[in-house]
Amino acid sequence: MSVNMKIKTIFDKSQNGRKGITLPPLDVSVDTKINSSLLREEKARLPEVSEFDVIRHFTNLSNKNMSIDKNFYPLGSCTMKYNPKIVERIANLDGFLNLHPHVVTNNFSEDVQGSLETIDLLEKNLCEITGMSAFTTTPQAGAHGEMLGIMMIDKYHKSKGEKRKYIIVPDSSHGTNPATAAMVGYEVITIKSDENGAIDFETFKKKMNRDVAAVMLTVPNTLGMYNKRIKELCDVAHEYDALMYYDGANMNAIMGVVRPGDIGFDVIHINVHKTFATPHGGGGPGSGPVGVNDKLKEFLPDLGIKKENGKYEFTSGGFNSIGKISPFFGNYGISLRAITYMTVLGSNGMKNASTKAVLNANYLRVRLKDYFDVPYAGMCMHECVLSAKTLAKKGVSAMDIAKYLLDFGLHSPTVYFPLIVKEAIMIEPTETENKETIDYFCDTMINAVKLADENPEEFANYPKTLGVCRPDDTRAIKELDVKFKY
């Protein structure tokens, strides 16, 4: 295919000798030289542009994004709720922004009492919300937290002289769960879901044995359903001393309603960018605090805090600690945002958030249930999963629906996940959206169904208003272009 419209990158805008920055002056004179064999022969060809060029280029690029502040963004499993501005304002206070982490190495804990207090506050809040007995904020994202959790479980078994082989996950799990198990050296047993979308209890019981190190579950699961037999599952696993891992991706459904620790889960990670409104940032940075019960406390990673005589101090993890997974306190700046958000919400606000999240999802589910296939009937929690299976027979796929929505100022829901639902459309409205927006979304979805009846071919042309439409992903791989070429 010949190229129609070419994109101008920042490199295409470069002009020899143009500068976008004035650096502090060289106010010393020295004649120290470095051996030329150690020096770079040619400069790195970064673009040569003015400050204003940079401002205009990146401002224009930002306009090409859909974002929560501009659009309803109902990505399932992602909890795209409004990010309150007060959180950013606090995180940008000089006292938080300009702390050097090596004050830890120097043991200058007295100089960072404020930040250690915020870490303590966050840990205590999370313990209370989840029912766990201790938290660490060192993991830098949910998947990083998963890795830490499985490492601690591995150490737990080793401390009892056992080396177990398997991690159990349901077939509805996030891809990070099996990938994490492999990353820590485990083999994965995948258990199918039953007709209600829950992990099949009988199969689960059959597969349990003393070679299973842990069971990783998302609760409510990725179908948005709460497993009524969750306590029994924990009990069965514990009979074999296998530990229960709680993937906290869907915490936004249950704050103030039910606590994983009370049910019997041994370890949990929280995705603060989901439940606790830290900005998604276009894909990060996140922060993935991990909570444990008393069984796993001794395995917590290197670098924590304790309070003695009214002063916070650093702790380096005990004899059985798994070691370091981050140099210092992980993505501290993100953890800080989470605790400020929790402070605004408080206990009442958190329960209210979960309640309204579940209200919005069920309202949306009921409004759409007659227009789409509903793979698993019944009340959902904070998100609902529909299927475009019937529409697909008319030639309109879940992806077509996703692309259609973009033209109406609506970001697409998650599509083709969970993997166990054909033509899955996974919708998570969150509590911060008003009824009018959800109604508009539902109306647009229903219009899509009508269009599928009248003119299914038309879907191939969506989106029509964004300047680009339907990338050729195969070409992207075959004619790999992953950097600007001079």
Partner 1 sequence: MPYTPHTNEQIREMLDLIGLDKESDLFSSVPKELQISGINLPEGLDEFSTFEKFKAIAAKNVTNKTLFMGGGYYDHIVPSAVDALAGRSEFYTSYTPYQAEASQGTLQVLYEYQSMICELSGLDVSNASMYDGASALAESALMAVRITKRNKILIDGGINPTYIKVVQTYLSFRDIEFEVIDVENFKTNRQSVLDKIDESVAGYLFQNPNFFGTIDDFTDIIEKLHVHKALAVVSAYPISLGMLKDPASMGADIFCADGQCLGNYLNFGGPSFGMIATKEAYIRNLPGRIIGRTLDKDGNEIFVLTMQAREQHIRRHRATSNICSNQNLVAVRSTIFMSLLGKDGLADMANLCFSKASYLKEQLSNIDGVEILNKENTFNEFVISTPLSSDDFLDRLREKGFYAGINLANIDDSFKNQILVSVTEKRTKEQMDAFVSSIGDVL
Q: Name which of residues 130 to 159 contact partner 1 (CB under 8 A).
A: 140-144, 146-147, 151, 154
Query: Between residue 353 and residue 412, which ones bind partner 1 under the rule CB under 8 A?
Result: 353, 355-356, 358-360, 362-363, 366-367, 378-379, 381, 402-403, 406, 411-412
User: CB 292 → partner 1: shortest distance, Å?
Assistant: 17
Q: Which is nearer to partner 1, 230 or 388 (CB)?
A: 230
User: CB 94 → partner 1: shortest distance, Å?
Assistant: 6
Residue 254 CA: distances (Å) to CA of 193, 196, 198, 354, 357? 22, 20, 17, 6, 10
Query: Between residue 222 and residue 281, which ones bind partner 1 under the rule CB under 8 A?
Result: 225-226, 228, 230-231, 254-259, 262-263, 277, 279-281
- Pick left, alpha or beta for residue 310 (phi over 0 → left; psi -120 to 50 → alpha; otherwise beta): left
How, if at all, do strands 267-269 and 243-247 pair? Answer: parallel
Q: Phi and psi of 33, rounded to 5°? A: -120, 150
Q: Which stretch binds partner 1 (CB under 8 A): 203-211, 390-398, 449-457, 465-473?
A: 465-473
User: CB 138 → partner 1: shortest distance, Å?
Assistant: 9
**Residue 318 touching partner 1 (CB under 8 A):** no
Pattern 435-464, partner 1, x by CB under 8 A: x------------------------x--x-
Cβ neighbors of 351 (< 8 A, separation 6 or more) are 255, 256, 257
Pattern 40-69, partner 1, x by CB under 8 A: xx-xxxxxxx-x--xx-xxx-xxxxxxxxx
Closest by CA position to 468, among listed 66, 186, 13: 66
> What distance in Å separates the CA atoms of residue 400 and residue 423, rounded to the nearest whole number?
10
Q: How many residues are there in the chain?
A: 486
> What distance in Å separates the CA atoms of residue 154 and residue 165, rounded to the nearest whole number?
10
Query: Between residue 161 and residue 220, which ones bind partner 1 under the rule CB under 8 A?
Result: 174-176, 178-185, 187-188
User: CB 80 → partner 1: shortest distance, Å?
Assistant: 6
Q: Which is nearer to partner 1, 333 or 456 (CB)?
A: 333
How, if at all, do strands 134-136 and 290-292 pair? Answer: antiparallel
AA identity, residue 479: E
Instruction: Tell me which of 160, 348, 370, 454 binds partner 1, using CB under 8 A.
Output: 348
Q: Which stretch binds partner 1 (CB under 8 A): 125-133, 202-210, 420-428, 444-452?
A: 125-133
DSSP collapsed to 3 states, 186-255: CEEEEECECCCCCECHHHHHHHCCCCEEEEEEECCCCCCCCCCCHHHHHHHHHHCCCEEEEEHHHHHHCC
**Residue 97 touching partner 1 (CB under 8 A):** yes
Q: Which is nearer to partner 1, 43 or 160 (CB)?
A: 43
Cβ neighbors of 440 (< 8 A, separation 6 or more) are 72, 410
Instruction: Tell me which of 74, 76, 125, 300 binds partner 1, using CB under 8 A.
Output: 125
Q: Which is nearer to partner 1, 151 or 212 (CB)?
A: 151
Q: Which stretch binds partner 1 (CB under 8 A): 12-20, 206-214, 290-298, 387-395?
A: 12-20
Pattern 67-96, partner 1, x by CB under 8 A: xxxx--x-x--x-xxxxx-x-xxx--xxxx
Cβ neighbors of 435 (< 8 A, separation 6 or more) are 363
